[in-house]
Amino acid sequence: MPAYNVYLANLGNALNQEQQNQVRTALQGWFGQIANTDGALVQWVTSASSIAEHELLIYFVPSELGSVARSLPGYSGPAGGGDGFTVWAGNLTASEVYVSRSRNWLAEIAFHEAMHNKLHLGDRDLHALDGLARIPVVAGSQPSANNITRMRRALNNRHTQWTGGWGAYSDPFGGL
């Protein structure tokens, strides 16, 4: 079986190259543990024409004001608060990390949002768990054994990733 793909999008050049490398390296290690023998490939992309339904896409935006997830078709609520946001509507799922709020723990927040994405758990249910599921997420934290096990079981869950974030980010009306 091919490697499990995790796609990362740096919207608005929110991250410099060093930050991108740090995030990719941390996530590569964690998803490598999750994907086990199949391995994982974590990569920064500037577009995504084809993402398999079981793979992940996480947008990194400068701040909550630049939220793209709030533009997800079928979603009518506000942008998320805190350090990141994951939302699903219909058969689409979108995750984002707010760089300005989480600059010192970007990989940790990205993993947290990936857990919302793959497990489809809301704040109350996910945040009651341990490791990187718990809030507040702290710099230098690691996924717990429970986090790894839950994500391994959910890796093939089919939650179509919304690829409209690039367009929504360049839309001055935010898709409204």
- Per-residue pLDDT, 174: 54
Q: Which CATH number is 143's domain given?
A: 3.40.390
Domain for residue 176, yes or no?
no
Q: What is the mean pLDDT of the chain?
A: 92
CB atoms within 10 A of CB 20: 17
Instruction: Determine, yes or no, domain membership for 74.
Output: yes
In a domain, 139, yes or no: yes
State the pLDDT at residue 38: 77
Phi and psi at residue 50, to the nearest 5°? -145, 110
Residue whose entry in the numeric block shows the structure tokens 């995750």: 95
Flag whether 148 is in a domain: yes
Tokens of 8: 């990362």
Within a 10 A sphere around the Cβ of 152, how many other Cβ atoms?
14
The answer to whether position 175 is within a domain reads: no
Cβ–Cβ under 8 Å, residues 44 and 20: yes
Residue pLDDT, tens place only, 70-109: 999 999 888 777 899 999 999 999 999 999 987 889 999 9
* Alpha-helix runs per DSSP H in the chain: 17-35, 99-102, 106-119, 123-127, 145-154, 165-170
Residue ranges making up the domain that contains 140 = 4-170
Question: Cβ(70)–Cβ(104) under 8 Å?
Answer: no
* Per-residue pLDDT at 173: 62
pLDDT values of the chain reduced to their tens digit, one per residue, 176 residues: 568 999 999 999 999 999 999 999 999 999 999 998 778 999 999 998 789 999 999 999 999 999 999 999 999 888 777 899 999 999 999 999 999 987 889 999 999 999 999 999 999 999 999 999 999 998 899 999 999 999 999 999 999 999 999 999 987 665 55
Number of domains in the chain: 1
